[in-house]
Structure 1
């Protein structure tokens, strides 16, 4: 790193809070075509931004712990039990130490501090390429992508977990429970290719909104163990005014995926727009 780049990096760190706040406000204006008004926070996306601004100023050690895909395992174990954790095959800070020769034929490699960066092992693989990709991810400061400051406080490491197969094409299906004050109010169904964006209420009634473009219409069958999914989500979300709890449902067994406190960094646009306000009403004590 040359002197000019080193100075730029230092300046960004020193001015992180001000830069982050300005960028968050600018991005909200661009995505939603309206300025953020802190005196009138009603919509869901406004409340996400409000939370991000607070965390950007003060940090939040609990959010950092529970957004850490490795550290959160202890929390899940305490709240709902070991049975809801995907089997951990290996974890460490140096990808060169991955025991490639002992990995099962199918597994998932990821880092604990990022989002969406999964490597599926299924048959032959290139070790050097995997090590290079993981090294890049481990060295990345995800704060500067979406300005979600709680992710900046996660100590990066590699996590290798068992592969979950629910028998679905493009599975496993991801049941994202939008929980408010410990109550799952919405269930978003997703697949690994983001080809599904269906929302349901607690009674599994399909709701007429989405936030992704060019989505096909889906009406997913009600899970036979929906009550268990909702129970696990409720227990994991206790004490939070809002958190999204992502779960997998593999042949009737519920597995934990992750907890998300600022979905998409607030960049989602609800369609129709009025659902932004409707969902925002669930969130009573935004911070």
Structure 2
């Protein structure tokens, strides 16, 4: 039945107009198809994200502003200081501007109004810059029905590689009411994706989200307390938000700030762990 619901959702996604009512229908069917239940009013992780995604909260000007990977740097600069920003080498508003640019031998190239799309260049290797042309016509809202992306102006940004590496640990701080509750870490992006969670006391949790649980241990960064303060400061203006940070143990930099993790469409591993994770995030378990 749930496969049928997702199939219907896929068809409707292609034919329904882009408006609030259509968004609700598609997001509702997606939630049921993925989670095999209806979204409820309880403070469970995906239910809470679903509520954010389907109310006017998603059009909160702050949420829209921080969804842009170029504009978010102004937010970071104002809240915690420019030293926590990844430097901007160039930003382009059209492919005509970009195609003749002399890209640095080590850099990161990505659209500012979308998620996951990225080109990492190291040691002056050849890159297919032509793929960026479609980024200038990309409206990520039309893929996910997350309205915070709907009005963003397409741009492509060029940055140096963070800590001159293409294989970084991304520390994702899940924050509620300005307090960091869980830290999500992905392991083995290129060799068997796994995921692990720690609480703010760096105690490993016995659950994962979407991917298998990583059985090993991750060392706490030497500057973890600084990272914690940065994440909480950046999250204090919103109820729930995910703050992604990178660290080399000495410095930390903001990767991005995410309003609705995975568009509320990832299940916990094991499935019944959602209740425990939700209680940690929303304050019943410290």
Superposed CA RMSD in Å reads: 2.4
* Cα contact 2:207–2:213 (8 A) shared by 1: no
* Cα contact 2:182–2:199 (8 A) shared by 1: yes
Partner of 2:62: 62
Unaligned runs of 5+ in 1: 1-7
> 1-side partners of 2:14 and 2:51: how far apart?
26
Partner of 1:81: 81
Farther-moved stretch of structure 1 (173-182 vs 134-143): 134-143
> 1-side partners of 2:247 and 2:164: how far apart?
7
Number of residue pairs the alignment of both structures matches: 267
2:43 corresponds to 1:47: no
Partner of 2:272: 274
* Cα contact 1:166–1:251 (8 A) shared by 2: no
Flag the structure with more relative contact order, 1 or 2, with Cα contacts below 8 A and sequence separation at least 6: 1
> 2-side partners of 1:231 and 1:263: how far apart?
21
Question: 1:256-277: per-residue Cα shift (whole Å, max 9, x none)?
Answer: 1111110000001012233322
Give 3-state SS (helix, strand or coil) of 1:268's partner. Answer: coil
> 2-side partners of 1:244 and 1:46: how far apart?
16
Cα displacement (A) at 1:192 = 7.9
Partner of 2:236: 238
Unaligned runs of 5+ in 2: 1-12
> 2-side partners of 1:52 and 1:98: how far apart?
33
Cα displacement (A) at 1:118 = 0.6
2:21 corresponds to 1:22: no
| Cα 1:210/1:51, change in 2 over 3 Å | same
> 1-side partners of 2:133 and 2:97: how far apart?
12
2:186 corresponds to 1:183: no
Farther-moved stretch of structure 1 (81-90 vs 58-67): 58-67
* Cα contact 1:241–1:283 (8 A) shared by 2: no
Give 3-state SS (helix, strand or coil) of 1:159's partner. Answer: strand
| Cα 1:173/1:46, change in 2 over 3 Å | same
Q: Which aligned runs of 4 or more in structure 1 are off by greater than 4 angstroms?
A: 8-11
| Cα 1:239/1:109, change in 2 over 3 Å | same
Cα displacement (A) at 1:36 = 2.0
* Cα contact 1:66–1:72 (8 A) shared by 2: yes
Give 3-state SS (helix, strand or coil) of 2:54's partner. Answer: helix
Superposition TM-score, scaled by structure 1 size: 0.85
> 1-side partners of 2:187 and 2:119: how far apart?
16
Question: 1:112-150: per-residue Cα shift (whole Å, max 9, x none)?
Answer: 111000101222324xx31x3222122122112111011
Give 3-state SS (helix, strand or coil) of 2:55's partner. Answer: helix
* Cα contact 1:166–1:250 (8 A) shared by 2: no
Question: 1:177-229: per-residue Cα shift (whole Å, max 9, x none)?
Answer: 01111111111112582734110011111100001234542311111111011
> 2-side partners of 1:279 and 1:204: how far apart?
15
> 2-side partners of 1:9 and 1:193: how far apart?
31
Cα displacement (A) at 1:76 = 0.3
Cα displacement (A) at 1:10 = 10
Superposition TM-score, scaled by structure 2 size: 0.86
